[in-house]
Amino acid sequence: MPYLSVAEEQAEWGTGANVPAHKRNRETSPSIMKIGKLPCVLLFVLCVMLFITYIKWNPRKEQAVDASDLQIKTTHELGGLSSKNEIFYGIMFDAGSTGTRIHIYQFSRTPSGAPNLDHEEFRALKPGLSSYADNPIKCAPGINELLNIAKKEIPQKLWASTPLVLKATAGLRLLPGEKAHKLLDMVRELFKASPFLIGKDSVSIMNGTDEGIFAWITVNFLTGSLNNAGKKHSGMLDLGGGSTQITFYPYSKNTLTSSPPGYMTKFELFGNTYSLYSHSYLGYGLMSARLAIMGGEEGKSLQEGEQLVTSCLTPEFVTEFKHAEITYKIKGQKNDEPLFVSCYKRVLALLGGKVEHSKEIPNLFFYAFSYYYDRAVDAHLIDAELGGSLKVKDFDMAAKKECKLIEEAPGENPFLCMDLTYITLLLQESGFPMEKELKLVKKIDNVETSWALGATFYYTSILNKQHS
Ligand SMILES: *[C@@H]1O[C@H](CO)[C@@H](O)[C@H](O)[C@H]1NC(C)=O
């Protein structure tokens, strides 16, 4: 619905500007006779130029409006001035390991602070950018197809003021630097050829800390704390395959002064300055953790006939684990303790003292995403569609239960005991008490809680600074 109203508004502006333009054209010809030759020629040249500009910017009748004026106005107002119900857009490409997604956001300005998100459109393309590593030009048709969707979605007069950004995650982070850069250079060329607004940092690889900060912005925008000084900000936990992130807004001076260097990030958004505690632990994502728990090494294949032996699987149980293109042979270890106990000891040995324990965590509200969500679903702790709330101790109890279950029937869900034990200990080591509640969701207000929305806000404000 909000999209329709934009189309209507646009049509209105169109006719409004159309009428005087035609009148002016008709009125100029008789008046020419009364003026001297030189002004006449100048006036004629001016008319031709106006006409060309008019044709160039307004191929469709309903868009007959002086687009250049509008663009200047829009770009200017993005900087902070507000007029009611003004519409603007942002385009974010999420270049992930398995595919490329485009998010097209439509916002409207509010009298103060954060804008409203009116509409989100997204499409995905497979495979991911990294699969064109040996032939970057091959990524062009896909990127252009997604750009065409943005052109259809966004009114033409707003193209030049709409920021276009691509952020690449895991897939490109793992490529050799040279190959990743060639791919990104290709995308940059395609973006430059598009009619949208491009900045110097518009196409790049994003690190885990940035990803955490952008997801934090998304969550706190959707929960309304960025627009309401009275509402406390929520923290954000993410557990990916390769890394895990924790991001929160510290209310305690102690956190600000005692955090390790590099854990605090300061930025400006919607007229406020935020200092966030944010850290990404590389190698502590769930899949990397599995490998480490089982004694494997990242990127290193096993020798012929070699297998990893683990105290988190039942004795003599044999399976395979594929991670980062390598398949590992796995076997459960003989032991005379309950499986949960032996697994817990192993995980504790791996995690003990490796993650920062923040004292402020018990006082904050936290959302948790990705594998936190998926494993809670697998353990029947939350609904797969709706998500839900749980306490750290629920992960702990589920771990004990699942470890017991595989002791009786090893084949069912062999890694769930290990995963839940890891999740419980990761939370505890990070400073989450057993009674601490976490909220697990995929969407807030029907909008996906991904980093893409937060990154769009962040880059929109940077681009506007560069252009104002
Ligand atoms: C992540 O990237 C940003 C730039 O986008 C940089 O400022 C920051 O220092 C990086 N953080 C880490 C931990 O590498």
95 shares a domain with 37: no
pLDDT over 90 at 325, yes or no: no
Ligand 1 nearest atom to the CA of residue 280, by list position: 13
Q: How many CA atoms lie within 13 A of 401 on its CB side?
A: 11
98 shares a domain with 198: yes
- Which region, left, alpha or beta, applies to residue 353 given φ > 0 means left and ψ of -120 to 50 means alpha? left
Residue 372: inside a domain, yes or no? yes
Q: Residue 283 corresponds to which tokens in the numbers above?
A: 């190698």
DSSP character at residue 154: S
Chain mean pLDDT for the chain = 84
In 3-state terms the chain splits into helix, strand, coil percentages (rounded to 5) of 45, 20, 30
- pLDDT per residue as tens digits for the range 417-459: 999 999 999 999 999 999 999 999 999 999 999 999 999 999 9
Residue 161: inside a domain, yes or no? yes
211 lines ligand 1 (CB under 6 A): no
Nearest to 272 by CA among 228, 235, 237, 232: 228
Q: Is 245 annotated as a binding residue?
A: yes
Residue 323: pLDDT band by 50, 70, 90 thresholds?
confident
Which residues is 267 bridged to in the sheet? Answer: 274
Choose one of 184, 206, 228: the last residue of a domain: 206
pLDDT of residue 171: 77
* Residues involved in catalysis: 211
Distance 209 CA to ligand 1 centre (A): 7
412 shares a domain with 302: yes
Maximum Cα–Cα distance across the chain: 108
Q: Is pLDDT larger for residue 174 or for residue 311?
A: 311
Name all contacts of 132-135 with Cβ < 8 Å and 24+ positions apart: 132/183, 133/175, 133/179, 133/180, 133/182, 133/183, 134/179
Residue 410: inside a domain, yes or no? yes
Q: What CATH number corresponds to the domain at position 110?
A: 3.30.420.40
pLDDT of residue 468: 57
Residue 154: inside a domain, yes or no? yes
434 shares a domain with 400: yes
Distance 364 CA to ligand 1 centre (A): 25
Residue 458: inside a domain, yes or no? no
198 shares a domain with 305: no
Average pLDDT rounded to a whole number, residues 382-399: 98
Choose one of 43, 77, 111: the last residue of a domain: 77
C-alpha 347: how far from chain center:
30
As a whole number of angstroms, the distance between CA 320 and CA 407 comes to 18
122 shares a domain with 14: no
- Window from 80-94, 95-109, 230-244, 420-434 with minimum mean pLDDT: 80-94
Instruction: Give how many domains the chain has, as a whole number.
Output: 3
Task: Answer whether 251's CB lies under 8 Å from 217's CB.
Answer: no
Helical pair 177-192 and 140-153, crossing angle rounded to 10 deg: 40
- Which region, left, alpha or beta, applies to residue 290 given φ > 0 means left and ψ of -120 to 50 means alpha? alpha
C-alpha 145: how far from chain center:
21
Q: Residue 240 corresponds to which tokens in the numbers above?
A: 């990916």
Residue 423: inside a domain, yes or no? yes
As a whole number of angstroms, the distance between CA 104 and CA 101 comes to 10
136 shares a domain with 42: no
Choose one of 183, 206, 229: the last residue of a domain: 206
- Window from 18-32, 128-142, 443-457 with minimum mean pLDDT: 18-32
As a whole number of angstroms, the distance between CA 118 and CA 122 comes to 14
C-alpha 298: how far from chain center:
26
As a whole number of angstroms, the distance between CA 235 and CA 277 comes to 9
Domain carrying residue 27: 6-77
210 lines ligand 1 (CB under 6 A): yes
pLDDT of residue 467: 63
Ligand 1 nearest atom to the CA of residue 201, by list position: 5
228 lines ligand 1 (CB under 6 A): no
Distance 334 CA to ligand 1 centre (A): 44
Q: How many CA atoms lie within 13 A of 288 on its CB side?
A: 15
Give the count of beta carbons closer than 10 Å to the beta carbon of residue 224: 12
What amino acid occupies position 24?
R
pLDDT of residue 176: 86
Strands (E), 224-271: 234-239, 243-248, 264-269
Task: Specify the residue for token string 């992930």.
Answer: 96
Average pLDDT rounded to a whole number, residues 228-240: 94
DSSP character at residue 364: S
- pLDDT per residue as tens digits for the range 139-188: 999 999 999 999 999 999 999 999 999 999 877 887 888 999 999 999 99
Residue 388: inside a domain, yes or no? yes
306 shares a domain with 393: yes
Q: Is 243 annotated as a binding residue?
A: yes
Cα angle: 400, vertex 402, 404; to 5 degrees: 70
Share of the chain above pLDDT 90, in %: 67
91 shares a domain with 28: no
Give the count of beta carbons closer than 10 Å to the beta carbon of residue 373: 23
Residue 274: inside a domain, yes or no? no
pLDDT of residue 7: 32
Task: Specify the residue for token string 């687009």.
Answer: 67
29 shares a domain with 121: no
201 lines ligand 1 (CB under 6 A): no
Task: Answer whether 284's CB lies under 8 Å from 244's CB.
Answer: yes
136 shares a domain with 63: no
434 shares a domain with 294: yes
